[in-house]
């Protein structure tokens, strides 16, 4: 009998993956023997499938959301994007941000500094879809299908040098389209960072698609980073430069309010924000209130990253 794949990936009707891709994957998963033998899984190496949409890719069944998908209209109309203002209603303003041409720079302490056109980069990586939970520090959450590739693939392209210990993600600061940049008390551009080990973790993901389509500008198109185990502010939108360094970056929110937003920002229900509890979260769409999980439920991937760092403020 072919191995039984857990049912978690058999998502409800609302799942955004085009039907033919789901069917294609089921057929491929029928090759149970191959999977058991440790051959490449069918969704690994799947290129973006042109037929349905340029950003439709095979869903990676390892990422079981354990929650219903957030309706697309909610995930794409309730956003945090301070470059466009502090309201959640930024989609129409963000639509003015040009999505092409787009270049991504890999720089700093790397063997292969380079500037990549986004479409050229997409030819070098394997796209997959991951349904991931997202948890904002403000205690709302969503569960959405992202298309993209592991950050580890960019590390391979860049070749970090032995002295590189941290990674900075610089996001675009476009004066022409971003009215928030005129609010000069904010430390623009929006820069976030992590350790090299965090960037190399399987869960750190570069997203170029959402619900099988290019990531809409308000959600961070054309390319954003995702740290699903950290509060959402770590997941910078519209990334232009990834910089490798030996100094721990001081990120946007940490510069603004270091007593409330730290470097690590791992999700933890037991460590309240100084002004509110983090024990529960509200799901976009249904408004259901559910308990928050340590590392947003991704401890099996990331808990080991923090061994020996217990004295750090890991959950702020």
Ligand X SMILES: Nc1nc2c(c(=O)[nH]1)N[C@H]1C(S)=C(S)[C@@H](COP(=O)(O)O)O[C@H]1N2
Using CB under 5 A as the binding rule, whether residue 261 contacts Mo ion is answered as no
CA angle 118, 184, 175 (to 5 degrees): 35
Give the contact letters, 183-222, x = binds to ligand X (CB under 6 A), - = no: -------x----------------------------xx--
Rounded to whole angstroms, the Cα distance separating 49 from 56 reads 6
User: Residues 80, 143, 240, 268: which binds ligand X (CB under 6 A)?
Assistant: 80
Q: Which residue has the tokens 């891709």?
A: 21
Rounded to whole angstroms, the Cα distance separating 71 from 56 reads 17
Q: Which residue number, 109 or 142, has a Cβ lying nearer to Mo ion?
A: 142
User: Is residue 237 part of an annotated ligand binding site?
Assistant: yes
Using CB under 6 A as the binding rule, whether residue 241 contacts ligand X is answered as no
Q: What DSSP line would sit under 77-97, residue for residue? A: TS---GGG-SSS--HHHHTTS
Phi/psi for 295 (5° steps) reads 55, 30
Q: Which residue number, 92 or 112, has a Cβ lying nearer to ligand X?
A: 92
User: Residues 43, 58, 83, 125: which binds ligand X (CB under 6 A)?
Assistant: 83
Using CB under 5 A as the binding rule, whether residue 262 contacts Mo ion is answered as no
Tell me which residue has its CB nearest to Mo ion: 136
**Residue pair 65/132 in contact by the 8 Å Cβ criterion:** yes
Q: Shortest distance, CB of residue 246 to ligand X, whole angstroms?
A: 24
Residue ranges in 216-235 that form contacts with Mo ion under rule CB under 5 A: 232-233
Using CB under 6 A as the binding rule, whether residue 171 contacts ligand X is answered as yes
Phi/psi for 155 (5° steps) reads -65, -40
**Residue pair 206/150 in contact by the 8 Å Cβ criterion:** yes
CA angle 64, 69, 73 (to 5 degrees): 150
User: Residues 56, 110, 122, 136: which binds Mo ion (CB under 5 A)?
Assistant: 136
Give the chain's count of helices (H) and strands (E): 9, 12
User: Is residue 83 part of an annotated ligand binding site?
Assistant: yes
- Positions in the binding site for ligand X (CB under 6 A): 79-83, 134, 136, 171, 190, 219-220, 232-233, 235-238
């Amino acid at each position: 009998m072919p191995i039984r794949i857990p049912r978690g990936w058999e998502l409800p009707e609302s799942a955004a993956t085009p039907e033919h891709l789901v069917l294609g994957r089921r057929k491929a998963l029928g090759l149970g023997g191959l999977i058991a033998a440790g051959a490449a899984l069918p969704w690994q190496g799947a290129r973006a499938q042109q037929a349905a949409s340029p950003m439709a890719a095979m869903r990676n069944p390892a990422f079981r959301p354990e929650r219903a998908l957030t309706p697309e209209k909610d995930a794409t109309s309730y956003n945090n994007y301070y470059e466009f203002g502090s309201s959640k209603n930024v989609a129409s303003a963000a639509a003015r941000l040009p999505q092409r041409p787009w270049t991504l720079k890999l720089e700093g302490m790397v063997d292969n500094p380079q500037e990549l056109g986004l479409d050229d980069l997409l030819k070098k990586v394997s796209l997959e879809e991951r349904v991931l939970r997202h948890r904002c520090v403000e205690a709302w959450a969503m569960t959405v299908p992202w298309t993209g590739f592991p950050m580890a693939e960019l590390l391979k392209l860049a070749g970090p040098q032995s002295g590189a210990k941290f990674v900075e993600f610089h996001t675009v600061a476009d004066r022409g389209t971003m009215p928030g940049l005129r609010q000069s008390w904010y430390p623009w551009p929006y820069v976030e960072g992590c350790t090299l080990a965090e960037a190399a973790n399987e869960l750190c993901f570069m997203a170029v698609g959402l619900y099988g389509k290019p990531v809409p500008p308000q959600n961070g198109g054309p390319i954003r980073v995702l740290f699903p185990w950290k509060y959402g502010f770590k997941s910078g939108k519209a990334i232009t430069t990834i910089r490798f360094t030996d100094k721990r970056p001081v990120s946007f929110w940490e510069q603004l309010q270091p007593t409330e937003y730290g470097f690590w920002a791992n999700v933890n229900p037991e460590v309240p924000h100084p002004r509110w509890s983090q024990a529960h979260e509200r799901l976009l769409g249904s408004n259901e209130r559910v308990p928050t999980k340590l590392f947003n439920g991704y401890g099996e991937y990331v808990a080991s990253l923090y061994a020996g760092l217990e004295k750090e403020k890991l959950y702020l």
